[in-house]
Amino acid sequence: MEFVHVVMFGFISALAAAQVPHWGPCPEPEVQQAFSLKQFMGRWFEIAKLPAQFEKGRCIETNFTLRTDSSIRVVSSEILKGELKKIEGTGIIEDPKNPAKLGITYSYVLPYSPYWILSTDYVNQALVYSCTDVLRLFHVDFAWVLGRTRSLPESAIEKAREVFARNNIDVTRMIPSRQLGCDKTL
Ligand SMILES: *[C@@H]1O[C@H](CO)[C@@H](O)[C@H](O)[C@H]1NC(C)=O
């Protein structure tokens, strides 16, 4: 069950997710300067994502809270086939010199996956990127536009795409996440 969830939320290797890998090593995007973990905490809704996974759950959101040991409690939820599903994970700042570079895992048997905050204003939106090198030959990546509300203006999403693209991240296959009819069910 947990394995299935991990796949759904996209935190697993390229092969398992049957993704199209990109040649070459991961890009090295700029991340949010002077990142404030505290301001980033709280509830974020998934507005758009890469790769395209049409058939997965909808109303995807994540609630980040600081634990007393300064790790991050990560609770992700979605509605799948009319049912609310939740999984809990753990986040950490992987490199204190680069606090916007988080690592998140949803299972103690899996390593931390990169979860880099490329940019955020903390109150409206955040751009998140995750990339894993495979033998330096190719890489697999995930990208998300997150919002504090269930929708963002089209102009904000367009700008987000530009920021990804400027950092050599291919978001041509990025798709909007389904956030309709969510609050009724919850
Ligand atoms: C987020 O998690 C915190 C801590 O567990 C909880 O108090 C809060 O109600 C949660 N918020 C949502 C929207 O789930």
User: Do 35 and 119 touch, CB atoms closer than 8 A?
Assistant: no
Distance (Å, rounded) from C-alpha 56 to C-alpha 8? 7
Domain chopping of the chain, boundaries: 2-179
Q: For residue 56, what pLDDT is reported?
A: 79
Give me the chain's average pLDDT, please: 88
Is the CATH code 3.30.1330.10 the one for domain 2-179? no
Q: How far is CA 174 from the centre of its chain?
A: 13
What pLDDT, in 10s, does the model give residues 122-151? 999 999 999 999 888 899 999 999 999 999
Chain Cα centroid distance, residue 49: 8
Ligand 1 centre to CA of 176 (Å) is 25
Ligand 1 pocket: which of 44, 65, 150 to mutate (most atoms <8 Å of CB)?
65
Q: Which of 25, 26, 30, 64 is nearest to 45 (CA)?
A: 64
- Which of these, 147, 87, 92, lies nearest to 115 by C-alpha position? 92
Closest CA to ligand 1's atom 10:
63
CA dihedral of residues 8, 105, 31, 142 (deg, nearest 10): -20
pLDDT tens digits, residue range 25-61? Answer: 999 999 999 999 999 999 999 999 998 776 679 999 9
Q: Which band of pLDDT confidence, cut at 50, 70 and 90, is reported for residue 185?
A: very low
Q: Report the alpha-carbon distance of residue 92 to residue 114 in Å, rounded.
A: 10
State in Å: Cα 63 to ligand 1 middle.
Answer: 6
Say what the pTM is: 0.87
Distance 4 CA to ligand 1 centre (A): 24
Q: Cα(38) to centroid of ligand 1, in Å?
A: 14
What are the pocket residues of ligand 1 if the criterion is a CB atom closer than 6 Å to any ligand atom?
A: 43, 63, 65
Residue nearest to atom 4 of ligand 1 (CA): 65
Predicted local distance difference test score (pLDDT) of residue 7: 43
User: In one letter, which amino acid is 143?
Assistant: A
